[in-house]
């Protein structure tokens, strides 16, 4: 358990570790929650959980130098656990010309229904805060801000009582979706605006999810690579919803069975949250590092679609300041240059527009179509 079983030479990658102890049976394609089957290592679990002998503790984790921390994080295969699974080592290596002054720890649940981050903060506050301190050391930042939504008062009180000696600030935010989106979180906490097409680096910020910093602490403190994660198994279609710590590579079916199985009426299975999650055709897919939730419910009947009546609800709710209805029309008509100049590529697909659309128009779908067409066109041009 914990042995490295997959690695890539690319900078934007993370290695994979075995989440059980046992024997490699085969390496062949297997279903993947993102769609197409990918090469996968099948390991027969001997159930002993014998830890790989090369895994060792680090003494005084908080006195390690930045280079060492980055190295451990990269070696432990840690990625952003909010859902996007961006390799964390990359985030800890800001460009030289962009000094980082603030670390933001994202304690806002990234989507409704998901509550795993909330549980983590209640059960592992010390690990999370110390992990954040490691990120601060690794990036040379001055302070840490933990942003949590004001519906998590229990966490707020718990952390207030702890009196950490780190340069830590705990900030309560309005509970809203998408509060946990990186750029919106930065503007809510610091009133800094990340330029279009830019990264948090550009405004001196690194954002890390609470699950990620806990994983960083675990890796640095105990040497444990990222082979398990917290996730929410929920929705009306799950018999007894739970937050679980699940080993990477376990099947959705295992997690669902552990939660009492599926209700008969359940007819949709989603990886992630209800707003951005990916519908799955089968529970025979593995939990991956980006699996923040497994949801199932009975989907209501198809809603009738009306014409857009320009009610502007999508405009009011777009966190990126876009005009989704206009982008939808441009995308439908293949007016790609107009779509681009109206900011279609800035869309984060949060789903707020479509949620609020009274006409029931699949706005996100049309925006995705437009974005894909533009990306394809650019790829062809550069090829």
Nearer to another protein, 223 or 272 (CB): 272
Least Cβ distance, residue 346 to another protein (angstroms): 5
Nearer to another protein, 45 or 356 (CB): 356
Q: Is 270 in the site for another protein (CB under 8 A)?
A: yes
**Angle, alpha carbons 17-74-148 (nearest 5°):** 95
Provide the β-strand partners of residue 279.
270
Q: List, in order, residues 6 or more apart from 68 with CB less than 8 Å away.
A: none
Query: Applying CB under 8 A, which part among 51-59, 65-73, 94-102, 346-354 lies near another protein?
Result: 346-354
- Report residue 354 as tokens: 């479509």
Q: Which of 18, 139, 325, 331 binds another protein (CB under 8 A)?
A: 325
Q: Is 301 in the site for another protein (CB under 8 A)?
A: no
Residue of 269, 260, 265, 228 whose CA lies nearest to 241: 260
Q: Is 269 in the site for another protein (CB under 8 A)?
A: yes
Q: Is 309 in the site for another protein (CB under 8 A)?
A: yes
Q: List, in order, residues 6 or more apart from 214 with CB less than 8 Å away.
A: 120, 124, 127, 128, 131
The count of other CB atoms within 10 Å of the CB of residue 41 is: 15
The count of other CB atoms within 10 Å of the CB of residue 44 is: 11
Nearer to another protein, 51 or 320 (CB): 320
Least Cβ distance, residue 281 to another protein (angstroms): 3
Q: Is 343 in the site for another protein (CB under 8 A)?
A: yes
**N residues, the chain:** 383
Q: Which of 365, 372, 375, 376 binds another protein (CB under 8 A)?
A: 365
Nearer to another protein, 87 or 274 (CB): 274
- Report residue 290 as tokens: 């980006």
Q: Which of 303, 375, 376, 378 binds another protein (CB under 8 A)?
A: 303
Pairwise CA distance, residues 349 & 275, whole Å: 9
For residues 100-129, which are near another protein according to CB under 8 A?
112
- Report residue 375 as tokens: 């990306």
Q: Which of 66, 98, 355, 374 binds another protein (CB under 8 A)?
A: 355
User: x-or-dash pattern for another protein, window 183-222, by CB under 8 A?
Assistant: xx--x-----xxxxxx------------------------
Q: Is 135 in the site for another protein (CB under 8 A)?
A: no
Q: Which of 4, 68, 242, 368 binds another protein (CB under 8 A)?
A: 368
- Report residue 376 as tokens: 């394809």
Q: Is 94 in the site for another protein (CB under 8 A)?
A: no
Q: Is 284 in the site for another protein (CB under 8 A)?
A: yes
Give the chain's count of helices (H) and strands (E).
Answer: 13, 13
Residue of 144, 112, 141 whose CA lies nearest to 130: 144
Long-range contacts formed by 188-194: CB under 8 A, 24+ apart = 188/147, 189/104, 189/145, 189/147, 190/102, 190/104, 190/145
Nearer to another protein, 125 or 274 (CB): 274
Query: Applying CB under 8 A, which part among 73-81, 226-234, 280-288, 375-383 lies near another protein?
Result: 280-288
Pairwise CA distance, residues 173 & 109, whole Å: 11
Q: Is 310 in the site for another protein (CB under 8 A)?
A: yes
Nearer to another protein, 155 or 295 (CB): 295
Least Cβ distance, residue 306 to another protein (angstroms): 4
Pairwise CA distance, residues 286 & 43, whole Å: 13
Nearer to another protein, 3 or 356 (CB): 356
* Total of chain residues touching another protein, rule CB under 8 A: 62
Residue 120 three-state SS: helix
- Report residue 285 as tokens: 């897919």
Specify the DSSP class assigned to residue 302: P
* Residues at the interface with another protein (CB under 8 A): 31, 112, 183-184, 187, 193-198, 267-270, 272, 274-282, 284, 299, 303-304, 306-313, 315, 319-323, 325-326, 342-343, 346, 349-351, 354-360, 362, 364-365, 368
């Amino acid at each position: 358990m914990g042995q490295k079983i997959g690695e890539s030479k690319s900078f934007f990658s993370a290695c994979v570790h075995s989440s059980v102890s046992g024997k490699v049976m085969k390496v062949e394609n297997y279903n993947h929650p993102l769609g197409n089957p990918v090469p996968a290592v099948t390991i027969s679990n001997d159930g002993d959980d014998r830890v790989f002998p090369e895994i060792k503790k680090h003494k005084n984790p908080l006195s390690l130098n930045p280079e060492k921390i980055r190295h451990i994080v990269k070696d432990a295969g840690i990625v952003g656990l909010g859902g996007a699974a961006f390799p964390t080592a990359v985030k800890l290596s800001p460009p030289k010309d962009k000094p980082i002054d603030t670390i933001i720890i994202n304690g806002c649940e990234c989507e409704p229904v998901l509550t795993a981050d909330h549980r983590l903060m209640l059960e592992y506050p010390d690990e999370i805060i110390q992990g954040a301190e490691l990120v601060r050391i690794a990036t040379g930042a001055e302070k840490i801000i933990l942003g949590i939504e004001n519906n998590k008062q229990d966490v707020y009180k718990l952390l207030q009582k702890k009196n950490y000696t780190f340069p830590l600030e705990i900030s309560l935010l309005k509970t809203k979706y998408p509060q946990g989106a990186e750029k919106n979180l930065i503007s809510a906490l610091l009133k800094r605006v990340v330029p279009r097409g830019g990264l948090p680096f550009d405004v001196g910020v690194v954002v890390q999810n609470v699950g990620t910093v806990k994983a960083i602490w675990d890796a640095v403190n105990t040497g444990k690579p990222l082979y398990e994660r917290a996730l929410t198994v929920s929705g009306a279609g799950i018999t007894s919803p739970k937050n679980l710590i699940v080993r990477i590579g376990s099947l959705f079916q295992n997690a669902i069975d552990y939660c009492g199985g599926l209700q008969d009426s359940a007819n949709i299975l989603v990886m992630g949250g209800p707003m951005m999650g990916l519908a799955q055709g089968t529970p025979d897919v593995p939990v991956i590092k980006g699996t923040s939730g497994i949801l199932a419910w009975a989907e209501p009947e198809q809603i009738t679609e009306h014409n857009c009546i320009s009610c502007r609800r999508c405009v009011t709710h777009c966190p990126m300041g876009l005009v989704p209805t206009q982008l939808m029309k441009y995308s439908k008509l293949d007016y790609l240059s107009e779509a681009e100049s109206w900011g279609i590529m800035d869309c984060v697909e949060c789903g707020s527009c479509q949620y609020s659309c009274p006409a029931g128009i699949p706005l996100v779908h049309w925006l995705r179509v437009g974005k894909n067409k533009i990306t394809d066109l650019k790829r062809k041009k550069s090829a």
